Every structure is written in structure tokens, then in C-alpha cells.
């Protein structure tokens, strides 16, 4: 069995369009109480906005979430596929992509602009191989202003990695109900 197909990846990539184009500067951030936001300009084509499938040879994203049939038959949750997190992990203003794998290694792709991504999984220490990852999100957990990576797993402790630039420094797996590791 396979995870999300090309259409799911195309949809995830389409959501990052504001940060990938690189041709026009992004609109300014508006600061509000407890959050910030900015306008998203969606280009209108002949038929309005839509999705265009981009090959991995163009984007640099070549991730596949493969699940063995025996594993999926033993635990149907594995057949649901993996997770996708989009966020500016390195603070360069472009959304990066984190993809989870139910049985293999997760992947982190740095957005280098113009719909091109660079696999930085190894240098970021973000693979979490064999953790049966099911979902992920970027959020500023420790309140230091940069996004942290949270990865949920199936039947194991979830992982919280505090990011500095593109590097991940895992705070270690935590059991449910335990206190988070204090920020350094």
C-alpha cells in the first residue's frame, strides 16, 4: 500500500504558493493580539485558481510513504497514510514541507523558491526512522519565535523537536502526561 499520491502532494504544494513564487515580494505581516497574518494573493488563470501537478524532477520532492500489506492488515490506522506539515522552519519566509512515514523515514524539504525544494532530512536530524509517524505540525511550542516540529506516532511517544534555523534538536520522546523539556 502507498501513502498520499501525486494529487495529495500537488494539493500540499499548491497551499505553499505564496512563499514559493519568489518573483513578487510577499505582502507585509499584520500584527494582532497574539497572532499575525498577511494577505494571500491567489493568481487567477483562464479558468480561475486551481491545481497543477508538478513532477518531482521539477520540485525536488520525491517522498513515498510505503506500508507493507501485512502491517496494514494488522493495524488499519497504517493504511490511513502519513501526515504533512507546512511551515517556515528556517525563518526565511518560505514554507517548508515535513512529510511523515508510517514505516520508513520522515522527510524535511527546505523551500528554496520557485517551487523547488531541497531534502535536508539528514542534516536536520528529522528522519525519525521507524517511529510509525502518523502526523506532524509546526507550532511555536516554547514561545521563542521560531516554529517547532511536533510529530505524532502510532503506539509510541510523540516527538517534539525544537528547531533552530533548519536544524532539529529533539527534546526526546515524552510519555503522555509528562512535562515538556524546558527551552534552552
Decide: 67 and 102 in contact? Cβ < 8 Å.
yes
**Highest averaged pLDDT of the listed ranges 75-89, 98-112, 140-154, 156-170:** 98-112
pLDDT at 180 over 90: no
- Note the pLDDT of residue 57: 95
3-class SS at 37? strand
C-alpha atoms less than 13 angstroms from C-alpha of 167 in its C-beta half-sphere: 3
pLDDT at 116 over 90: yes
Q: Which is more confidently placed, 98 or 183?
A: 98
Residue 137 — pLDDT band, cuts 50, 70, 90? very high
CA dist list (Å): 28 to 38, 41, 67, 107, 162: 6, 12, 42, 30, 26
- Note the pLDDT of residue 115: 92
pTM: 0.65
Taking the C-alpha atoms of residue 54 and residue 60, their distance in angstroms, rounded to an integer, is: 10
Amino acid at each position: 500500500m502507498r501513502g498520499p499520491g501525486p494529487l495529495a502532494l500537488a494539493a500540499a504544494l499548491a497551499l505553499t504558493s505564496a512563499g514559493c513564487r519568489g518573483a513578487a515580494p510577499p505582502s507585509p505581516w499584520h500584527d494582532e493580539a497574539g497572532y499575525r497574518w498577511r494577505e494571500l494573493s491567489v493568481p487567477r488563470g483562464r479558468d480561475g485558481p486551481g491545481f497543477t501537478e508538478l513532477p518531482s524532477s521539477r520540485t525536488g520532492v520525491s517522498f513515498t510513504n510505503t506500508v507493507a500489506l501485512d502491517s496494514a492488515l494488522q493495524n488499519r490506522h497504517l493504511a490511513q497514510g502519513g501526515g504533512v506539515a507546512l511551515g517556515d522552519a528556517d525563518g526565511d519566509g518560505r514554507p517548508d514541507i515535513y512529510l511523515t512515514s508510517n514505516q520508513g523515514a520522515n522527510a524535511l524539504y527546505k523551500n528554496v523558491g520557485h517551487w523547488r525544494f531541497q531534502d535536508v532530512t539528514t542534516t536536520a536530524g528529522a528522519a525519525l526512522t521507524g517511529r510509525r509517524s502518523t502526523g506532524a505540525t509546526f507550532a511555536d511550542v516554547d514561545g521563542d519565535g521560531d516554529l517547532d516540529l511536533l510529530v505524532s506516532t502510532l503506539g509510541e511517544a510523540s516527538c517534539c523537536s525544537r528547531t533552530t534555523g533548519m536544524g532539529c534538536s529533539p527534546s526526546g520522546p515524552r510519555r503522555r502526561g509528562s512535562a515538556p523539556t524546558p527551552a534552552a
